[in-house]
Amino acid sequence: GQQLNQSPQSMFIQEGEDVSMNCTSSSIFNTWLWYKQDPGEGPVLLIALYKAGELTSNGRLTAQFGITRKDSFLNISASIPSDVGIYFCAGQGRSGTYKYIFGTGTRLKVLA
Amino acid sequence: SAVISQKPSRDICQRGTSLTIQCQVDSQVTMMFWYRQQPGQSLTLIATANQGSEATYESGFVIDKFPISRPNLTFSTLTVSNMSPEDSSIYLCSVDGTSLPVQETQYFGPGTRLLVL
């Protein structure tokens, strides 16, 4: 099925560094969600975005809904070892359908 | 957010058999969804489980292979029928987080890890 493109696909960073990842689509989305999935667990919702240009923070995480509505960005500041995991974006094209398309994922590995 | 549990958490099955996965939510929800996550891959929506009516399946998924029940607003089951090794995946239940006012989100259960031999 259709997927959103996430980049980078994977990344190694040093503890304390900031991390940026993005999600892009050829289609317009009305809602963007960002999830983190730890090994052996289901995805956990980190941030939800509902308006173009919206910037929302959750602790060290900040996400933005792109102005074009075709992309979204997630930043993690001062990374720590527990930030390790796979980060997924998810976009909803039509409000009210509750159907989300998931990104390909960014695998983050933090070196202590 | 809703608390979602799934049973079993994992299973190893023989090809040709069927497995039914249960999803229980601690509050009534309108929409429940079933996803598949193949090894190392992203999530793909299988179907939307509708209370009181047949599930709505996405392209590439059919009721005969993935029958779904939704007997009430807190429970759903997904059966993986006539399994083959290609069905080895994580199966995830999710629910909509909408409450008044409308804000659309989705919350996931812990997943069921299925290995078909």
Query: Chain A: nearest CA to B20, how far in angstroms?
Result: 18
Are A94 and A47 spatial neighbours (Cβ–Cβ below 8 Å)? no
Q: What percentage of residues in chain A have a pLDDT greater than 90?
A: 77
The pLDDT of residue A111 = 82
The pLDDT of residue B101 = 43
Mean pLDDT of chain A: 91
Among the partner-chain residues A48, A102, A103, the one whose CB lies closest to the CB of B105 is A48
Q: Could you tell me which of A7, A42, A48 has the C-alpha nearest to residue A29?
A: A48
Q: Is B87 helix (H, G, I), strand (E, B) or coil?
A: helix
Residue B29 pLDDT grade (very low, low, confident, very high; cuts 50, 70, 90): confident
The pLDDT of residue B100 = 41
Q: Is B85 helix (H, G, I), strand (E, B) or coil?
A: helix
Would you call A105 and B113 a contact, using CB atoms and an 8 Å cutoff? no
